[in-house]
Every structure is written in C-alpha cells, then in structure tokens.
Amino acid sequence: MSEPTKNNKKSGTYTTTYKIRFYTNNLEYLKLTQQIYNELIEIYYNLIFKYDELLTLSNQKCMRELEKLTIIGLTGERPPEYFDQNAPTELRRAAINHAIGLAKSYTELSKKAKENPKQKKPNKATTFNCSTTFYKGMYKNIEPNGTVEIKLYDGEKWRWYKAKFKNWNFPENAQIQSPTIVINKDYVMAHIPVKRKIDDITPIKERMKDENVRVCGIAFSNTDKVATCVVIDRQGKVIKTLFVSGGNEYKNQITKILNKQKRNILNNKEIQQTNNNHKNYRKKTNQIINYYSHVISKKIIDFCIQNHVQVISTALSTKDKAYYYTKSKKNRPIYLRENITNYINYKAFRKGILSTIVPRKDKASKCYKCGGEIQSRKLKTKCENGHQMDYYFNYAMNVALESLRKYGIKI
C-alpha cells in the first residue's frame, strides 16, 4: 500500500514564549536601565500623538519617522523634536516599538468605544512601568549553560554584564528572539520568544479537501487505558488503533502521595510545618501529572506521525473544565485529560499536525455504525442493534467521524 503524501504543504513559523528565572548580580543597573527605557517610551508615546498621522504608518515606517524627528542625521542638523539621549540605538528602538504598540492599542480601543457606546473609553497612558525588551545588540553570547551578557547602564556608562537564565535548555532548530526582563518584587524573570519552523501550517479546512487526509480521534477514559486513538481515512475506514495505558500506574502514584498528605495532616500540629508539607505534596502531585501527561501525549503524537495523521480530533464538553478544578479528583486517570490535550495540541502543531475539538455529547453513548444507543458502559459493549465493540473504540470513532462531518465531509 502506498503511503499518502501531503500535497501543497505550506511551511511557516511559530513562536512560543519561554518564561524562566533570570539571575543577575546587577539588579540596580537593570532597574536603572528599565527607568531609562520607560523615559524613552513616554517621550515617544507623547510624540506619536503630537504627530498623529504617524499612527497610520506601519510600525517600521513609524519608527523611522520618529527617529528622524529626534535624532541628528547625516546633515548634522538638529531635528524639531531633538532631545538629549543617553541610550544605545537598540534600546531606543525597543522603546519606540513599545510606544507604538501602546499608542496603537489606545487608538484601537478609542475607535471601538466610539462605535459601541457600551465599551469603556480608554485612558491615555500617563505613567509607564514597562519591562525592558533587550534587542540584539543589548544582549549577546547566550551559552548552552544559560549564561548571557546584557548591556546595562551603571550610572556612568553602558557596559556588558554577565547574567544567567535558570535551567536553560538551548532549543534545537529554533531561533531565539529578544528577551524581555521582568523585575518582580523578589525575583526576576526572562520572557524569551523562541521561533520555530513548522513543516505544515495548511489550515484544517484545506487539509480536509485532500483525498488522502487522515484523522485521529481520541477518547479519554477513567480506566487504565487512559486514551484510545483511532486513525481513519476520509471515507471513515479504520487505518489503525492505539490503546495507551498507564491510568492505573498514575492512580497508584497519586494516591500514595495523597494518603501521605492525609496522614501528615492528622499527625502534624504545627501549622507552618503542615503548610510547607502541603506545598511539597502539591509539587509532587504536579510532577506526576506532568510526567504522565508528557509520556502519554508523546505516545499519541508518535503514533499519529507514524500513521500520517494530518488532523487530531478530541472531544470536549462544557463540564470538563469544572471537573478539572475539582482537586479532589486528581487521583483519577481522567484528570489527565486536560493536560494531555494541551500537550498534544502544541506538540502536534510543531510536527505540522493540527487539532480540532468536537462536542462530547453522544460520542460515547451512540453507536458509530448505526447511531443506536450503546447498551452498557462496560469495555466490551454493544449497541441496541447488536453491533459489538470496545466502548472506547466506539467513542474514539465517533470523535474522529464528527471532525470529518464538521468540515463538510459526508460519511
């Protein structure tokens, strides 16, 4: 059998922002730098409204005009809005872009408020406390161990200072973009956008027109088989099925910790100690949840790649979110559903597979072959018309078929 090939692949890029702790021995200089950055934002923000025709320009053109207004050019003449600047070009440009962003969003909101009287009128910004974005030229030499150099103002001069990203994993096949350094009360964070190439960003609607499109439907369960995945083709024919187990193992691990926690509450009279332990238990349960969500989602993605799936379909009901926040149900395998779905979505996307969601209603309770009622919730079940099947296989089939129907394919 020849494997289907993806026609007319459209490649693209996508950016995720990593948020990681940032260590510097020069917090004071960082604060000083941020102050200068915000002074620049304020000046340029006000200039944009003084010359408000600038708002109609693209960001890049707008920046060029603002620089022409404020910076001495080749002619050596002072432009009309010249002011004494003590900042590297890259810091100024980041500040200008920030100011343009703020001004444009203000204009956008005012426009909306004019069109819709119910919408609140926005206020122009008067104070600025933005986190500094370090453009290339303000940062350099990110090493695989996470050290980086950033240019800071020390009250006298702009100098390079060493700093460090905590737990930095150099992303492979990716491009690091300008980090924003966020100063919090007790700690500093770096928000680092990372740009990756995606093999295929063709929208689902287009993919579904492809004769060879393959869809994977996923059904989550509260049993040991946490996820059941069925790959079907455009005609609804089953290509391959995967049952992912691990539900019991997960349940046991979480239960152990929850039981320990219970005992601990009974035995421990000291409130501070109990609070600390609580934190530890929560950390441990979260680690387990993350671990299983990663492992299970990876199995599903690998399976989808092997079987040339282009669209993944999962089912969601409005009740699912509420369930997720019932913390007492952490020890049930179905609790993993939300995390696994999130992981699948972003992992799949990186591999050029898109995800879609269908309503969960009737997916488990109706037979995928005839639409008849499913007789019992047992694993081996049958419908009122006698079709025998695995309960979760039927569920996953309905989820897969529904995604085809959603895009107008008649089954």
Residues at the site binding Zn ion, with contacts judged by CB under 5 A: 367, 369-370, 372, 383, 385, 387
Cβ closest to Zn ion, residue 263 vs residue 380: 380
CB atoms within 10 A of CB 354: 17
As measured in angstroms, the least distance from the Cβ of 279 to Zn ion is 51
Q: Is 244 left (phi over 0), alpha (psi -120 to 50) or beta?
A: beta
Cβ closest to Zn ion, residue 121 vs residue 369: 369
Q: How far is CA 42 from the centre of its chain?
A: 31
Cβ closest to Zn ion, residue 12 vs residue 386: 386
Cβ closest to Zn ion, residue 70 vs residue 381: 381
Cβ closest to Zn ion, residue 207 vs residue 363: 363
How far is it, in rounded angstroms, from Cα 135 to Cα 168?
A: 19
Could you tell me which residues come within 8 angstroms of residue 176 by beta carbon, excluding any fewer than 6 positions away? Answer: 142, 192, 193, 194, 195
How far is it, in rounded angstroms, from Cα 141 to Cα 265?
A: 49
Indicate the residue whose CB is closest to Zn ion: 367
As measured in angstroms, the least distance from the Cβ of 389 to Zn ion is 8
How far is it, in rounded angstroms, from Cα 209 to Cα 250?
A: 39
As measured in angstroms, the least distance from the Cβ of 363 to Zn ion is 14
As measured in angstroms, the least distance from the Cβ of 371 to Zn ion is 7
Cβ closest to Zn ion, residue 34 vs residue 381: 381
As measured in angstroms, the least distance from the Cβ of 375 to Zn ion is 10
As measured in angstroms, the least distance from the Cβ of 383 to Zn ion is 3
Cβ closest to Zn ion, residue 152 vs residue 383: 383
How far is it, in rounded angstroms, from Cα 124 to Cα 103?
A: 8
CB atoms within 10 A of CB 117: 7
State the residue for tokens 């639409």: 371
For residue 244, what is the enclosing H or E element? strand 238-245
As measured in angstroms, the least distance from the Cβ of 384 to Zn ion is 7
State the residue for tokens 């926040």: 325
Whether 158 contacts 36, CB under 8 Å = no
As measured in angstroms, the least distance from the Cβ of 405 to Zn ion is 17
Cβ closest to Zn ion, residue 273 vs residue 375: 375
Strand runs (DSSP E) across 154-214, as ranges? 158-165, 174-176, 180-183, 188-198
DSSP 329: G
Report CA-CA distances (Å) from 4 to 1, 178, 300.
9, 40, 19
Cβ closest to Zn ion, residue 48 vs residue 389: 389
As measured in angstroms, the least distance from the Cβ of 214 to Zn ion is 24
Residue spans of alpha helices (H) in 193-318 = 204-207, 247-267, 271-306
Cβ closest to Zn ion, residue 294 vs residue 382: 382
Three-state secondary-structure class, residue 142: coil
Burial state string for 48-75 with b = 16 or more CB within 10 A and e = fewer than 16: beeeeebeeeeeeebbebbbebbeeeee
As measured in angstroms, the least distance from the Cβ of 330 to Zn ion is 36
